[in-house]
Amino acid sequence: MTDLVDNAWYVVQTQVNAEAKAARNLMQQGYETYLPRYLKRRSHARKIEKVPAPLFPRYMFVRIDTAVQRWRSIQSTFGVSRLVLSGSDPAQVAPQVLEVLKAREDESGFVKLDSGPQYSLGQKVRVIAGVFADNLGLFDGLGDRDRVAILLDLLGRKVRLSIESDLIAPA
């Protein structure tokens, strides 16, 4: 049995798509929670938008003061599947993990992720979605914002195309 540390961070597994519900219910019980989120790019009906999404789907962090709070009650909280355990005690998270995540947050509280995979000039890529899905091309440089330039072989000639960076993958 490991010694629990007073006022440390632990990991909670939530029910599917219930991270916000679990956080709300844990806060009502007096627990401090941290649900790192980022802006996820979503395509719907030919429209691309960025929507908030959990950085770790189905997982969040909860601070437990083991000298005061009874951690076993977390197991029966609405929205929570279980408290992640190490043996019979909650699995503690190193404080540096949360420090790094919080340091990467922007002014709106969303974790900024590194840009997509880096390609070298002339590298073969595959379009993975959209009108040109499954076409092979060559990486031809960075475009503006979240776009890259690729060369596709269409109708026997190379055509330069500007496309969202998350719509291509290495071939």
Residue 12: CATH number of its domain: 3.30.70.940
- C-alpha 116/C-alpha 168 separation (Å) is 10
Task: Count up the domains in the chain and report the number.
Answer: 2
pLDDT in tens, 44-77: 777 778 889 999 999 999 999 988 888 999 999 9
Q: Flag whether 108 is in a domain.
A: no
- C-alpha 152/C-alpha 170 separation (Å) is 14
Output the pTM of the full model: 0.68
Check residue 110 and report its DSSP letter.
Answer: B
Q: Are residues 135 and 80 part of one domain? A: no
Contacts of 19 (CB under 8 A, 6+ apart): 35, 54, 57, 58, 59, 60, 79
- C-alpha 162/C-alpha 171 separation (Å) is 18
Strands annotated E in the chain:
8-14, 32-34, 37-44, 47-54, 59-64, 80-83, 85-86, 89-90, 92-93, 124-127, 136-142, 147-154, 157-164, 168-170
Domain that holds residue 132: 124-170
Residues of the chain with pLDDT under 50: 1-2
